[in-house]
Amino acid sequence: MKKTLLAVAALCALTSGAAMAQQQDGKWQVRLRAVHLDIDNGGAAGKAGVEVDNKTIPELDISYYFTPNIAAELILTYPQKHDVGVKGMGKLGTLKHLPPSLLAQYHFTNLGAFKPYVGAGINYTRFSDVDIAGGAVKIKKNSWGAALQVGFDYALDKNWSLNFDVKKLYIDTNVDATAAGLGNLGKLKVDPILVGVGVGYRF
């Protein structure tokens, strides 16, 4: 009898822990991710050989849940410095970019601790501190584009979770070369894919 009671108590404890891992009901969630940017380097300027290098960056995002299924997520980082070059010529300079994004998300529920989601929204990117070929190459400073997202949280307890996230941002800029009268080289489509892993805290 005692063994049966102990077994029932242990089962209740395990069930209670699993249920707690599934119940993350707070309106706010903050995530910290390490994100790798895989740059597309497309468009006319990309075809001409202009390249922005790939990079791994820190990312902070803040989500607000309007319902258990519907949320909005603001994605933030600090201005990131990238090398800029041309194929066959190596590095020509650097620039910084700041790419905050705002996305609406749909979160799938009733899957226990596994909490997948999809999102779509808008990205604004500000290019700054552009120093390419001693000023011989200039770019447009502002870019607006779409942002798409898919990912999941895996709840560890009532507040903490692990996160895996993939985003596609549409970012482009015009490239102008003042040297030798080359003029406008066309658009450089940065269009990175961002693959991130991190932790989240919901409250």
In tens, the pLDDT along 133-179 reads 888 888 899 999 999 999 999 999 999 999 999 999 999 999 888 76
pTM of the model: 0.82
Tokens of 44: 């006319």
Query: Cα(110)–Cα(125) distance, rounded to whole angstroms?
Result: 36
Domains of the chain, earliest start first? 2-202 (2.40.160.20)
pLDDT band at 181 (very low <50, low <70, confident <90, very high): low
> Rounded to whole angstroms, how far apart are CA atoms 144 and 81?
19
Cα separation of 172 and 142, whole Å? 9
pLDDT at position 3 over 70: no
Residue 101 token pair: 């994004």
Q: d(Cα 198, Cα 29) in Å, to the nearest integer?
A: 13
What residue spans of the chain are helical by DSSP H? 2-22, 43-47
CA distance 41 to 172: 9
Q: Is the pLDDT of residue 82 over 80?
A: yes
Helical (H) or strand (E) element with 97: strand 90-98
C-alpha–C-alpha distance, residues 128 and 96, integer Å = 5
